[in-house]
Structure 1
Amino acid sequence: MRYGQGVALVLAAGSLWSLMGLGLRQIEAASVWQILFWRSVGMVPVLLAFVWWRSGGQPLTTIRKVGLAGVIGGLGLVFAFAGAIYAIQTTTIANAVFLFTASPFVAAILAWVLLGERVRPWTWAAIALAVAGMYLMVREGLAMGALAGNIAALLSAAGFGAFSVALRWGKLSEMLPVSMLGGVFSALVAAGVLAVQGQPLAPSAWDIGVSTGIGALILALGMLCYTLGSRVIPAAELTLLSLIEVLLAPLWVFVFLGETASAATFAGGGVLLAAVALNAVMGARAQMAQGLAKAP
């Protein structure tokens, strides 16, 4: 796989995930933990089917091969999913979204320490530009918020960063089971929280159908693209490229549901898009230069 193909896959993943808000607007009454449970229930069979197909009917062998990297990556997704839910519940959405941009920094540091992946100068510049763009998008709603919610948002960013590093850490041709394990762990955590809170596991049939559909189509296919793209893209760049989700999410609800967004949202989104494009173009040029250098 070429670098450009990997970039296209990760951008496709972020684009799919950006439809999440549009899908969640169709939920009638389900709680966030019920949504997380049924979303995970929808995601896991789809990913398992892909693992089964790619393993030639031996999914357990492929799942065992991911080892510790798979467990850590799966647990990272639990923090990413659950932390985001708790953050949105307890702090402002602007705070949560802004703090989510910490994931490229977390991925960069972990990948450097654990994998020896050096972060290229233009990637640092693109990360800084992305943070600036995110700030422009949400600055009107930024507030101190609840400390626990802010911490949860940072844990969510750290969890997604750890998941991205785990995909690179495995060094295997097939790391899709990591995403599947994340879905299994998330379903177990959500079921546990619902039990502790005394809430029923099942909301209305409509909400179950919408949540399961989100998991099977939007989340699972996005995870598939992201995992495949991770083969050729460093962890810090993976998380940076996935921020395209934040750019597109308000656009979809504006186009299809008529929810207006401020001028600052679109201005910040433009800066964020420039950051993603900068990193993608510079990375492609670097790979092309390496290819020319190796040519006889």
Structure 2
Amino acid sequence: MKLTHTKAVFVMVAVTMMWSIAGVVTRHLEQARSFEVTFWRSFFTVLSLLVLLPLFRGREVFARIRQGQWPLWLSGLCWSVMFTAFMVALTLTSVANTLVTMALGPLLTALIAWMALGHRIPARTWAAIVLAGAGIAHMYGAQIEAGRFAGTLVALCVPVAGGINWTITQRAHAQGQGVDLVPAVLIGAVISSVLTLPLAVPFEASAHDIGLLAVLGLVQLAIPCTLAVLCARVLKAPEISLLALLEVIFGILLAWLGAGEVPRTSVLTGGALVISALVMNELIGWRQRA
């Protein structure tokens, strides 16, 4: 599939809309809870990718997975942490808390790459890190007072694992070992399914729940992850980062309109600081490179 720049932008917007349905769908589950939610979504992601991967990459993709070197498997492990932490966080805290915390990904990635690879962090990114940190501190402070801190800490595992994942793939690329991200997603879904299965038993999900989680596995994870990799071949990194922020906006709106989950004032204030910091950082960087 070849995309023009304009088509890639529209596809990436559609990707963020698909990513954003996790919160509202989770709020309509009847009986499935915590690790069972994670297991079923990861399980259906595995089934979906087993069909999608040969269509997009041919059957030889499975041979490449078997022959994959350590960066591919470490990337898969990072994906498994992201899948598991995201769904568990949604069962412990609000959709808005989870998505705003996940939005820290680009800034945490910059910090991890600075510590692990020695990448220089521009002054604009340091300023964005400070501003986003203030927003998260405001959000976290209100949650500590309300006694709802655990879910946001779990959500923080997602951008941390994402930053480590990016650092691993960049280091592998520098050493001539490219990491194919979509097969890494499949490996992550398999690991997540295997690790959460013992914690999911005994199963309590109704047929209604399993149907919704199957939709998440296919529509919210397998399809958009595959399309995002295609978009990344056409769009530049700042464009991807800015468009990906739409997931936060779409996700909060869908949970608000579709599940009646009104975001708290502290989350909106802290989230506005985080989003402003990310937009400022990417736009200034884009302008300087231009």
Check whether TM > 0.5.
yes
Given that 2:132 and 2:277 are in contact with CA atoms closer than 8 Å, whether structure 1 keeps it comes out as yes
**Counterpart in 2 of 1:47?**
49
**Counterpart in 2 of 1:219?**
221
In structure 1, C-alpha distance between the alignment counterparts of 2:43 and 2:271, rounded to whole Å: 32
Structure 2 residue 64 is matched with structure 1 residue 62: yes
Given that 2:81 and 2:158 are in contact with CA atoms closer than 8 Å, whether structure 1 keeps it comes out as yes
Given that 2:139 and 2:267 are in contact with CA atoms closer than 8 Å, whether structure 1 keeps it comes out as yes
How is 1:69-108 mapped onto 2 (pairs within 5 angstroms)? Answer: 69-86=71-88, 100=102, 103-108=105-110
**Counterpart in 2 of 1:283?**
285
Q: Which amino acid aligns with 2:56?
A: R
Offset at 1:22?
0.8
Provide the aligned C-alpha RMSD in A. Answer: 4.0
Given that 1:247 and 1:273 are in contact with CA atoms closer than 8 Å, whether structure 2 keeps it comes out as no
Deviation per residue, 1:156-211 (Å, 9 max, x gap): 4422322333444443373211111111111111112234xxx13x6211111100
The farther-off stretch of 186-195 and 120-129 is 120-129
In structure 2, C-alpha distance between the alignment counterparts of 1:70 and 1:239, rounded to whole Å: 23
Given that 1:98 and 1:135 are in contact with CA atoms closer than 8 Å, whether structure 2 keeps it comes out as no
The secondary structure found in structure 2 opposite 1:261 is coil
**Counterpart in 2 of 1:271?**
273
Count, aligned residues: 283
The one of 118, 125, 128 equivalent to 1:126 is: 128
Offset at 1:112?
3.4
**Counterpart in 2 of 1:183?**
189
**Counterpart in 1 of 2:200?**
194
Given that 1:78 and 1:159 are in contact with CA atoms closer than 8 Å, whether structure 2 keeps it comes out as no
- 5+ long unaligned stretches in structure 2: none
Structure 2 residue 165 is matched with structure 1 residue 163: yes
In structure 2, C-alpha distance between the alignment counterparts of 1:117 and 1:149, rounded to whole Å: 31
Offset at 1:148?
7.3
Given that 1:126 and 1:275 are in contact with CA atoms closer than 8 Å, whether structure 2 keeps it comes out as yes
Given that 2:241 and 2:282 are in contact with CA atoms closer than 8 Å, whether structure 1 keeps it comes out as no
Offset at 1:33?
1.6
In structure 1, C-alpha distance between the alignment counterparts of 2:83 and 2:129, rounded to whole Å: 22
Given that 1:69 and 1:167 are in contact with CA atoms closer than 8 Å, whether structure 2 keeps it comes out as yes
The secondary structure found in structure 1 opposite 2:262 is coil
Offset at 1:244?
4.6
Q: Which amino acid aligns with 2:219?
A: L
Q: Which amino acid aligns with 2:191?
A: F
* TM value normalised by structure 2: 0.75
Given that 2:45 and 2:186 are in contact with CA atoms closer than 8 Å, whether structure 1 keeps it comes out as yes
Inter-CA distance 189–237: structure 2 relative to 1 (3 Å threshold):
farther
- 5+ long unaligned stretches in structure 1: 289-296
In structure 1, C-alpha distance between the alignment counterparts of 2:66 and 2:8, rounded to whole Å: 25
Q: Which amino acid aligns with 2:123?
A: P
Give the percent of matched residue pairs that are identical in Structure 1 and Structure 2: 27
In structure 1, C-alpha distance between the alignment counterparts of 2:5 and 2:122, rounded to whole Å: 15
Offset at 1:120?
3.2
In structure 2, C-alpha distance between the alignment counterparts of 1:53 and 1:253, rounded to whole Å: 33
The one of 204, 207, 227 equivalent to 1:205 is: 207
In structure 1, C-alpha distance between the alignment counterparts of 2:126 and 2:239, rounded to whole Å: 9
Offset at 1:7?
8.3
Given that 2:65 and 2:183 are in contact with CA atoms closer than 8 Å, whether structure 1 keeps it comes out as yes
**Counterpart in 1 of 2:25?**
23
In structure 2, C-alpha distance between the alignment counterparts of 1:112 and 1:60, rounded to whole Å: 34
Given that 2:35 and 2:88 are in contact with CA atoms closer than 8 Å, whether structure 1 keeps it comes out as no
In structure 1, C-alpha distance between the alignment counterparts of 2:266 and 2:148, rounded to whole Å: 24
The secondary structure found in structure 2 opposite 1:181 is helix
In structure 2, C-alpha distance between the alignment counterparts of 1:260 and 1:152, rounded to whole Å: 21
Deviation per residue, 1:4-38 (Å, 9 max, x gap): 99888776654432221111112111122221111
Inter-CA distance 28–161: structure 2 relative to 1 (3 Å threshold):
same
Inter-CA distance 233–265: structure 2 relative to 1 (3 Å threshold):
same
Offset at 1:100?
5.0
The one of 129, 142, 147 equivalent to 1:140 is: 142
Q: Which amino acid aligns with 1:217?
A: V
In structure 1, C-alpha distance between the alignment counterparts of 2:4 and 2:289, rounded to whole Å: 9
